Amino acid sequence: MDLTVVWAFIIAFAVFAYVVMDGFDLGIGILFPTFNAGRERDRAMNSIAPVWDGNETWLVLGGGGLFAAFPLAYAVILPATYPLIIAMLLGLVFRGVAFEYRWRDPGHQKFWDMAFTGGSFVAALAQGMTLGALLQGIDVVDRAYAGSWWDWLTPYTLLTGLGTVAGYALLGSTWLIWKLDGDEQAHARKLAVRAAVATIALMGAVSLYNITLNAEYAEHWLSAPEIYWVAPVPVVTAIIAISMLRAITRERNSKPFWLAIALFFLGMSGLGVTIWPYVVPPGLTIWDAAAPERSQIFMLVGVAITMPLIIAYTVWAYWVFRGKVADEGYH
């Protein structure tokens, strides 16, 4: 078996896990101002307080894993998207400390709530734009980024950035449908409908734009025999989108959230089909950028041993904090 392909899937899994898990955290941050200060916001934030840190760790695995398994890709993508990465990191600084600071300083809680929202929005937008900058292609000469300062800023990257913001808002609002009840759940449901419509529209726009980006992308989707393999993806996506919208508007607990994850899974699978076999289009394939076999094997042993444990105790931590965020002990 080709270890480079295995590693491409491991990194893709880490990115997917990050996008879904920190996606709903960041989405709640983005939607935070629509909740009333006080009990509503407290409940929204407390629904993720015990788990956000673990969720964010997948970003370190995505970045660190890319560094380890595809060092050349890491060394090219990060300088190419420098301002976006710095903005994302600073956004995550504000978002992360707000979890603690807003409780420590009631006098400035509004300020830290704004930092929570601003940080979440900037991080989400920067992540989406980084994805767009990668998909639209990065100039590489002599194992180094060879483009200019502003290559990452195009209408396409803005589209992928906004798509990510909308998608995270969808994940966040469907998570809140699950974790809240009463008026707050009704409010989350309203938000989820809007976020779902925006996400689906932007996903469609990005998908169509992808086909026009370069001939090879179009070939993956539109020529035989590939078309028979990939044609079901948009169809299944449409079915999922419709059932998710139905689930959001009805009285359900976790179903909208799981369907939103399924939507993300299909969207990312679609991106995988588009970009394959490149890690940095248009020049670097996964094999061009891969670490040597000794590095791949060494890390694979680590992943094989630790990943089942990580998943097990992560599931346990979620299980411990299961159920609605409630204040039923409060009389």
Partner 1 sequence: MFDNLDALLLARIQFAFTVSFHFFFPAFSIGLASYLAVLEGLWLKTGKSVYLDLFKYWLKIFAIAFAMGVVSGIVMSYQFGTNWSVFSDKAGPVIGPLMAYEVLTAFFLEAGFLGVMLFGMNKVGKKLHFAATLMVALGTFVSAFWILSVNSWMQTPTGYEIGANGQFLPGPSWWDIVFNPSFPYRLVHTVMAAYLTTAFVVGAVGAWHLLKDRANPHARKMFSMAMWMAAIVTPAQIFAGDMHGLNTLEHQPAKVMAMEGHYQSHPEGAPLILFGIPDSEAKTVRYAIEIPKLSSLILKHDLNAPLAGLDTIPDDQEPPVGTVFWSFRVMIGIGFAMLGIGLWSLWGRVRGRLYDMPWLHRAAVLMGPSGFAAVLAGWITTEVGRQPYVIYGVLRTADAASPLDAPAVAASLLAFVLVYFTVFGIGVWYILKLMGKAPHAGEYGVKRGDVGPIRTAGITPGPTQNPGGDETLPTHAPDEKEPV
CB count within 10 Å of CB 47 equals: 23
The CB-of-299 to partner 1 minimum distance in angstroms stands at: 5
Beta carbon nearer to partner 1, 228 or 319? 319
| Beta-strand runs (E) in the chain | 140-141, 144-145, 278-280, 284-285
Beta carbon nearer to partner 1, 43 or 220? 43
Q: Which residues of 110-126 are buried (b: 16+ CB within 10 A; e: fewer)?
A: eebbebbbbbbbbbbbb
The CB-of-136 to partner 1 minimum distance in angstroms stands at: 19
**284 three-state secondary structure:** strand
The CB-of-251 to partner 1 minimum distance in angstroms stands at: 20
The CB-of-178 to partner 1 minimum distance in angstroms stands at: 13
Beta carbon nearer to partner 1, 100 or 226? 100
Beta carbon nearer to partner 1, 142 or 251? 142
Strand partners of residue 144: 141
The CB-of-89 to partner 1 minimum distance in angstroms stands at: 5
- The amino acid that residue 169 corresponds to is A
Look-up: residue for tokens 């993806």?
233
Q: How far apart are CA 314 and CA 311, in angstroms?
A: 5
Beta carbon nearer to partner 1, 208 or 320? 320
| Sign of the dihedral defined by the CA atoms of residues 136, 232, 178, 194, in that order | positive
Q: What is the CA radius of gyration of the chain?
A: 20
The CB-of-130 to partner 1 minimum distance in angstroms stands at: 11
Beta carbon nearer to partner 1, 90 or 153? 90
Q: Which residues of 81-105 are buried (b: 16+ CB within 10 A; e: fewer)?
A: beebbebbeebbebbbebbebbeee
